[in-house]
Amino acid sequence: MARVIAGVSSSHVPAIGAAIDNNRTEEPYWKRVFSGFEKSKEWMAKAKPDVVVGVYNDHASSFSVEIIPTFALGCAAEFPPADEGWGPRPVPVVKGHPDLASHIAQSVILDEFDLTICNKMEVDHGLTVPLNLLFGSPEEWPCPVIPLAVNVVQYPPPTGHRCYMLGRAIRKAIETYPEDLKVVVFGTGGMSHQISGPRAGLINSKFDKAFLDNLTKNPKKLARIPHIEYMREAGAEGIEMVMWLIMRGALDDKVDEVYRFYTVPASNTAVGHIILENKKAAGRKTKRAAAPFKSALRGGRP
């Protein structure tokens, strides 16, 4: 059976992508940021996941105010980089895993989470920057990636509890997929930041570090944080951290914290990062689910 081996959370600051694309990673300002991910790249090279589920938010690249899905799962075979106003980023096309994505869609929807299924979708820096930070800049991404876009731009976003429970449902889906796959779940966005208004530039390191502590030790406490507290303590864009709870919900209740990194600022944002591994559990058994409706979910004929 497939299994979730670890979760990774990382900020997805667009300026980080620009620094990579314009060969500025060795400049003193940016070297401080990128040096914090060297151990992470080493860990990822050893972990060698077969699939990544990448939780991120779209920045008006694939979706607009005309259509605002709360949760949108990419079930396509590939996802090209989006033009975010200055052309697509020079990064590889993201290759999907349609079979596993369709299986997740079926399982999660039958568990009463209403997903939007996307058979065509472009992905922006929200997804590609974390892939760079964990995999470097290869000619092709080393494994398939299933994008899960979450609305944290237009009110109302999903609650932290809803995100945490979705993570648990995704884990259940993965563990009932019949192929032997190692899956790593990414939760991206945040940490504290606000990009406009009188509090533009806000960074709350105390809130951020407490969030990282509880992500490891007490995620259910984080799941109870209301929207207004994210706004007050972490800025208008701090709400992106609910996406980290999808990652955390996909893991064991008790996890091993492998690595964390935190620095300020990068652009006007706090950069946070953590790697959590499920504790090794020999002989874990899972219940086989019904075969997924692959062609129907991917837009083919059932």
CATH number at residue 22: 3.40.830.10
Contact 16, 137 (CB under 8 A): no
pLDDT of residue 279: 82
Q: Is residue 63 part of a domain?
A: yes
- How far apart, in whole angstroms, are the C-alpha atoms of residue 12 and residue 271? 8
Instruction: Name the residue with tokens 């208004």.
Output: 197
Mean pLDDT for the stretch of residues 281-292: 44
Judge whether 193 counts as a catalytic residue: yes
Identify the helix (H) or strand (E) that includes residue 228. helix 227-234
pLDDT of residue 81: 98
* Total domains, the chain: 1
Categorize the per-residue pLDDT at 288 as very low, low, confident or very high, splitting at 50, 70 and 90: very low
Judge whether 227 counts as a catalytic residue: no
| pLDDT for residue 220 is more than 70 | yes
Catalytic residue among 125, 161, 227, 273: 125
Pairing of strands 71-74, 145-150: antiparallel
pLDDT of residue 294: 47
Nearest to 165 by CA among 57, 245, 52: 245
Q: Is residue 246 part of a domain?
A: yes
Helices 242-249 and 205-217, packing angle to 10 deg? 10
Q: Is residue 302 part of a domain?
A: no
Residue 138's CB: how many other CB atoms inside 10 A?
11
Work out the mean pLDDT of the chain and round it to a whole number. 93
Domain span holding position 191: 3-297
Catalytic residue among 97, 103, 193, 273: 193
